Chain A
Amino acid sequence: MSNEQRVTPERSADEKRAFKRDLTEVVPHLRAFARGLCGRPDMADDLVQETLLKAWAAQDRFEPGTSMRAWTFVILRNAYLTDMRRNRFRGEYDETAAERILTAPAAQEEPIHLSDMHRALLTLPPERREALLLVGAGGFSYEEAAQICGCAVGTIKSRVGRARAALTVMIEEGSIPERSIDDPAAHRAILQELDDVASGKGISIATK
């Protein structure tokens, strides 16, 4: 692992300003990704703040010209997994906030209730949820998502496909859990998530 450490020159003031500007621009994206991952707006924002601090501290490892969004997403993801290991986030569902923020516009034809969508999303296994968030919502390519998650492109495609199928079944059949914590399906998903983290799966390196 020590081979991955590289000696980079200290960033100049201009470079730091540019880094900080790029970092500021990705904050909304980080918040959206974190909200999708852990479900709670307050905890998601804590996660983003933690990510910003870590990114700033590790700015020498960021390669200018590469995607700041992808780089910071890796940091956020790893921070999320670490916090999951500490049982800090449990994919809780804040119904009040979701109702306020996520309800579809009334004029939309056959509107899907976005709080249902959010609950369904939170019951997905974490690796599928993050793949769907990255590709289906974040606009990352499969290749970029694979880099962020530290896995093969085919694995990401498979995860997105399975997540899509699972959500379709849940929404079609109305089998969306009422509460992600209390519902057995959601509870199983959370336990699986913790098992995955405990086994060391999915930690990727935020170097690119």
Chain B
Amino acid sequence: MSAARPHRTGIPPLVRTNKEFAVGRYEWEPDVPAFVPNKRNNAEADAHLQQGSVSRQLQGRNVELVEASIMAGADGTGKPVKGKKQHTRKQGPEWASGLKQLYDSVIEEPIPDAFKDLLARLDDGKR
């Protein structure tokens, strides 16, 4: 038992300040600030939860960052790849960007004439 801690029978009442109302602190405890959740982790969790809506907002126009995040593991499953965690973090974004690049390379191709002809025929009112 610490000599500084008072005897059980003499336990002082909780001292609560406005700032630390929910925490409670004994007089002998060091004057430390109340527990504050790790903001960085909160931000990550928020991004994790909201990535779907973020992706929706982007409407597929510029989603590389979001997709890299998803492919890196923030996919909402909460299931890391067993035994490959370090490698996954390294490899995930690399091939994820490859996947996006593969997809975008097709999007950026000029539309073949066959499609233009087909769309023009649709314009004629043929159903």
Size class of A's contact patch?
A: 35 or more
B104 at the interface (CB under 8 A from A): yes
Given contacts A56-B127, A114-B102, A140-B55, contact A171 B119 (CB under 8 A): no
A18 at the interface (CB under 8 A from B): no
A45 at the interface (CB under 8 A from B): yes
Within 8 A of A (CB), among B77-127: 77, 79, 81, 84, 87-88, 91-92, 94-96, 98-109, 111-112, 114-115, 118-119, 122-123, 125, 127
Picked from A35, A52, A114, A161, the residue with its CB within 8 Å of the CB of B118 is A52
A91 at the interface (CB under 8 A from B): no
Does B66 lie within 8 Å of A20, measured CB to CB? no
Q: How many A-B residue pairs have CB under 8 A?
A: 143
Residues from chain A with a CB closer than 8 A to the CB of B84 are 165, 168-169, 172
If over half of B's interface residues share one DSSP class (helix, strand or loop), that class is named, otherwise mixed; here it is: helix
Nearest B residue to A137 via CB reads B103
A59 to B46 Cα, complex, angstroms: 38
Size class of B's contact patch?
A: 35 or more
- 9 CB contacts below 8 A, A to B, read A20-B123, A23-B119, A27-B115, A52-B122, A101-B105, A118-B102, A135-B75, A142-B76, A167-B95
For the A-B complex with A112-B95, A161-B76, A171-B91 known, give 13 more contacts whose Cβ atoms are closer than 8 Å: A23-B119, A52-B115, A52-B122, A117-B102, A136-B96, A137-B103, A138-B60, A139-B55, A139-B58, A142-B52, A158-B77, A164-B81, A165-B81
Binding site for A on B (CB under 8 A): 52-53, 55-56, 58-61, 63, 66-67, 70-71, 73, 75-77, 79, 81, 84, 87-88, 91-92, 94-96, 98-109, 111-112, 114-115, 118-119, 122-123, 125, 127
Binding site for B on A (CB under 8 A): 16, 20, 23-24, 27-29, 31-33, 35-36, 45, 48-49, 52-53, 56-57, 69, 101-102, 104, 110, 112, 114, 117-118, 121, 132-133, 135-144, 157-158, 160-161, 164-165, 167-169, 171-172
